[in-house]
A and B are shown apart, each in its own frame.
Chain A
Amino acid sequence: MSDLVKVTIDGITVEVEPGTTILNAARQIGGEIVPPAMCYYSKLKGSGGKCRTCIVKVSKGSEKDPRPMPKLVASCRTTVMDGMEVLNITSPEVLEARAGVVEILLINHPLDCPVCDQAGECDLQNLGYEHGLQKTRYEFERRTFDRIDIGDKIQLHMNRCILCYRCVFTADQITDKRVHGILNRGDHSEISTYIQNAVDNDFSGNVIDVCPVGALTDKTFRFKNRVWFTKPVDAHRNCSHEKCNGKVTLWYKGDDVLRVTARKDQFGEVEEFICNECRFDKKKTSDWTLEHPTHIPDTSVIASNHYETFKPLPVIKENLALQEANKRELEKTTKI
């Protein structure tokens, strides 16, 4: 195990394989020091480097060359060197620059979260909540596009797009043929299909899952419900598609399955891509074998309505051992 390299992020040292990016090294540590990633997707080759929210400061390049890097670097595309020291949340410079990037990402965003299907599981919403300003300083008219339907199951709401290119990479790497891409240049760039072409492919629905914002939405779920009123349950079925293993999350409201998505890990990335048949056509409980409720992190708004708020008994407040045993629940009460 001598070929592992040592990297220190915010004072926490971790040993990783050579060639690992700073972001993935931080994910191995986990917790608050993981930089947010809007465009990087570990399952898509070539993604990352575009949104600039994951920028970090490299205060020491490596053991051999201890000079700091002159600029802030995109942690998703910078590989670690032995002895590298990285500052993320401990550097005010990084936090300021990140706040700047978030502000800039939001200046042309419609901020229509109250009517957006993605609200509650939106990366940009979380990012804005953590790093954004209360009030925008942008006083000009926001950029707008028409909504278009790309295929009969997916709607593209370009106003909300942050041009992360994830859906383009997904279509390139997961589906056989990509028919959508980036048109135009600069701030009039838009994701679109050439001359209203329909995205029609067995795996096209995955662009909905990879979209970090509400730009690509599932038409079968549009305006059906808010995600925090639905209950996610992991389920599987024997999918006949050779590339799909049928492992999904079902989102229940009462007895109805409102939508089906791929299972997502703690960083919001899908574990395995699913086919369109599983996603759009199998919306009955009888189609699926249920496994267990999906684990939702306590910090997510989706978790908030599902469990009774923990009311500690008076005896717990007096007993240290009981406090220790109920630590997680107590933390949750203070957080919410």
Chain B
Amino acid sequence: MGRKLLLEHINVPGINTLAVYREQGGYRAVEKALKTLTPDDVVEEVKKSGLRGRGGAGFPTGMKWSFLAKPEGVPRYLVCNGDESEPGTFKDRYLMTHIPHALIEGMIVSSYALGANTSYIYVRGEMMPQIRILERAIEEAKAAGWLGKNILGTGYDLELYVQPGGGAYICGEETALLESLEGKRGNPRIKPPFPAIAGLYGCPTVVNNVESIAAVVPIINDGGDEYAKIGIGRSTGTKLISASGNLVKPGVYEIELGVPVEEFIYSDEYCGGIANGKRLKATVAGGSSVPILPANLTLKYANGEPRLMSYESLSEGGFATGTMLGSGGFIAFDEDQCIVRNTWNFSRFYHHESCGQCSPCREGTGWMEKILHKLEHGHGTMEDIDLLWDVQRKIEGNTICPLGDAAAWPVASAIRHFRDEFEWHVKEPMKSQSTNYGLANYANPIEKKPEEVK
């Protein structure tokens, strides 16, 4: 049984209320931080813990905090990014629904560390129930004296606000989030300046994912060194993985980073294998933006060593044979799923969600979607596959924000690893409308019987 830090008390009845949360040792981190530690100590602990941003990019949180500019007389802000809209990722929603106080406790400690007196939780606009849960929890915390003026008599003031999001995927990009929070159209800003220098209302700002902020609580409780012992290499601590797709037990799992992918998919502790006795065809390991991998490369590196659930291990082999941990949205596809259809679906999402500010993304995502629609519905040609490859290459890296890359990577990886399936859609247009391509060369190496080896 792996160690649980965030979801340790998730099954305690009434954990969403302050009283029960407190009984289970809640708000200890606030007491410890505010009474015994200086803000710099807290930053130091987080640095020691090696915590990496849980929102997707995996940038070390402590480092991000230490970059924050601290000019005199200018307020600093902490903004929590709860605009979780990535297809396949639903861990933050789970956390906010069931233990809202974990997030609030993390917000208090983090705001204290950064010297912020006003902090915002920007929650995706569609998650209205979660917004109400958080607001109720903030009310409770405020009534109990954990928020407001002079917290615990230490002289530290903090106001916490929940802001419903603008209803766009792009508002999850940190600078677009800040624009949206300021009440403007959610267009990403051109960096530099980075938010650490000029963020919300032009003041130094840190934007962190919900899970990163919640993870600060166990770090302060147990100490950064203790936290760093969990996990593997530079991927320390635990990570929430939202598993979905054709799994026996989809759901949110807290794993210690470094669990083998094979164990994660097949062990009963986690996903319990592929549903309906089918075989694994492909996985998307970190939410829809990361490259899709065929089953054999998901479970093992190109050289045959087992792949682990960690930042480094999943990206082993670069984009040729690897992927990314991303935000931890693990999607499994069984042998009956069509990769072309899935790629089209992802592309449709990015086309719909492009903000329209810079040209490669605005026009290119729509173009990719149209080509994929054509291929999926049996009207494609071989040239279309090459054209698609060319279009994605022209988007990747040429845009203001990472949405362009996120739109290009799934398409690139699908063509890279599943080109034969795309070609099958071109060669057998009628058949591709009624049957599936199946496993092809990407059979699950574990379940593959010798006679099936091609």
Contact = CB atoms under 8 A, between A and B. Distances in A.
Q: How large is the interface on A (under 10, 10 to 19, 20 to 34, 35 or more residues)?
A: 20 to 34
A104 B367 contact: yes
Contacts of A140: 367, 370
Contact of B359 (A71, A72, A138, A162): A162
B398 A101 contact: yes
A187 B354 contact: yes
Shortest 5 CB-CB distances between A and B: which pairs? A100-B394, A189-B356, A186-B354, A49-B190, A187-B366
B194 to A, nearest CB: 13
A104 B363 contact: yes
Given A103-B394, A186-B352, A49 B359 contact: no
B291 interface: no
B163 interface: no
A50 B358 contact: yes
A140 B356 CA distance: 19
Interface in A122-165: 137-138, 140, 162-163, 165
Tier of interface size on chain B:
20 to 34
Nearest to B397: A71
A105 B400 CA distance: 16
Contact of A52 (B170, B358, B366, B393): B358
A116 interface: no
Contacts of B352: 186
B175 to A, nearest CB: 12
Nearest to B364: A104
Given A104-B367, A137-B387, A165-B357, 20 more contacts: A49-B358, A55-B398, A72-B398, A100-B360, A101-B360, A103-B394, A104-B360, A104-B364, A104-B391, A107-B363, A138-B367, A140-B367, A140-B370, A163-B356, A182-B356, A186-B352, A186-B353, A186-B365, A186-B366, A187-B363
Interface of A: 48-52, 55, 71-72, 74, 77, 97, 100-101, 103-105, 107-108, 137-138, 140, 162-163, 165, 182, 184-189
B190 A51 contact: no
A98 to B, nearest CB: 9
A204 B160 CA distance: 43
Contacts of A105: 359, 363
B437 to A, nearest CB: 25
Interface in B356-405: 356-360, 362-367, 370, 387, 391, 393-395, 397-400
A104 B356 contact: no
Contacts of B355: 185-186
Contacts of B391: 104
Contacts of A188: 356
A137 B381 CA distance: 13
A92 B190 CA distance: 25
B168 interface: yes
A138 B168 CA distance: 28
A186 B362 contact: yes
B394 A97 contact: yes
Contact of B398 (A97, A163, A185, A187): A97
B400 A49 contact: yes
A52 B190 contact: no
Given A104-B364, A138-B367, A186-B351, A50 B397 contact: no
Contacts of B136: none
A138 B370 CA distance: 10
Contact of B362 (A71, A100, A138, A163): A163
Interface in B129-173: 168, 170
Contacts of A49: 190, 358, 400
B448 interface: no
Counting chain A CB atoms within 10 Å of each CB, the highest count among B353, B359, B360, B366 belongs to B359
A185 B394 contact: no
A50 B324 CA distance: 28
A119 to B, nearest CB: 21
A319 B367 CA distance: 57
